[in-house]
Amino acid sequence: MRFLVSFVVWMFLGALVASAQTREDIVLTGGPALRFMEHGKGDVSHDVYWFNFVDASVIRLGQLKAEAKPGDLVTWLVYRPAYASRSKEMGLDLLAQITDKAKHLGVNLHWFDTKEDLIAYLNKGLDRNKIKIADFDYIGHSNKACFLFDYSNVIDTMSIAWLHVKDLRLIDDDIFVHGATCKSWGCHSGEMYSQWWKDHFDVAMTGAIGKTDFAHGGLPELSNSDGKWAQ
């Protein structure tokens, strides 16, 4: 009987600990090109509207907040340098606008300046033994092998800040809950990045086969009729 009582108490305390654990949902947002770099490129010009990625991120963050339970965390990770340089080009404080949007949504805003900053947050920004990531979205430029946090921002048609598939090994492989939902809304991620992601984290990531289009506002759409979402 004493053993049975102890077992019941242990199970009850375990349930309390489990219920006390929370989850984190993350939206990772890359930055825009400079118009100086992209002006005059016609239909292939990138980021005519500087807030394409921000608007899509705000929509996704709003969805996550609406689904969140009390105690759940919703975090917005934003690549600061690209928005700082676009701010200077436009003569507007875009960083303040992003901060205001985060406050309005009631989400945690965390700026990062380098790949190392991002990796440090994912690994140790919170106690990952207690707070696992349950939903992850990347919204920004990408190719099949990289999340490109900037593009045509420092060097025309090139990026100086990225998270390559080989960088995934620098991220702890147990930061996600089992069955986490992950999606890259950028171009070409489903052609390679998704597979490397699955291999490292044992969590599927939906990505695009082909290009995605942010120009219509809202969450991006596949650019071509032969494109598709894949894991």
What was the pLDDT predicted at 228? Answer: 96
Identify the three-state secondary structure at position 172.
Answer: coil
What was the pLDDT predicted at 126? Answer: 97
What was the pLDDT predicted at 18? Answer: 42
Is residue 4 situated within a structural domain? no
What was the pLDDT predicted at 191? Answer: 98
In angstroms, how far is CA 68 from the centroid of its own chain?
Answer: 17
Range of the domain at 121: 22-230
C-alpha distances out from residue 5 to 1, 9, 18, 213, Å: 6, 6, 20, 60
**Per the structure, how many domains does the chain have?**
1
In angstroms, how far is CA 65 from the centroid of its own chain?
Answer: 15
Is residue 183 situated within a structural domain? yes
| Tokens linked to 17 | 């600990």
Is residue 147 situated within a structural domain? yes
Are 228 and 187 in contact by the 8 Å Cβ rule? The answer is no
- Own/partner pairs, 112-115, CB within 8 angstroms, 24+ separation: 112/77, 112/78, 112/79, 112/80, 113/79, 113/80, 113/81, 114/161, 115/149, 115/161, 115/162, 115/163, 115/167
The one-digit pLDDT tens for each residue of the chain (231 residues) are: 554 444 443 444 344 334 446 899 999 999 987 866 566 565 666 766 778 999 999 999 999 999 999 999 999 999 999 999 998 988 999 999 999 999 999 999 999 999 999 999 999 999 999 999 999 999 999 999 999 999 866 676 678 899 999 999 999 999 999 999 999 999 999 999 999 999 999 999 999 999 999 887 789 999 988 899 999
Is residue 61 situated within a structural domain? yes
Selection from 206, 212, 211, 213 nearest residue 229 by Cα? 206
Provide the CATH number for the domain around residue 181.
Answer: 3.40.50
Residues 117, 177: Cα–Cα separation, whole Å: 22
Is residue 151 situated within a structural domain? yes
What was the pLDDT predicted at 203? Answer: 98
Residue 216 exposure: Cα atoms within 13 Å on the Cβ side: 7
Are 112 and 77 in contact by the 8 Å Cβ rule? The answer is yes
Is residue 6 situated within a structural domain? no
Q: Which residues have a Cβ under 8 Å from the Cβ of 129 and sit 6 or more positions away?
A: none
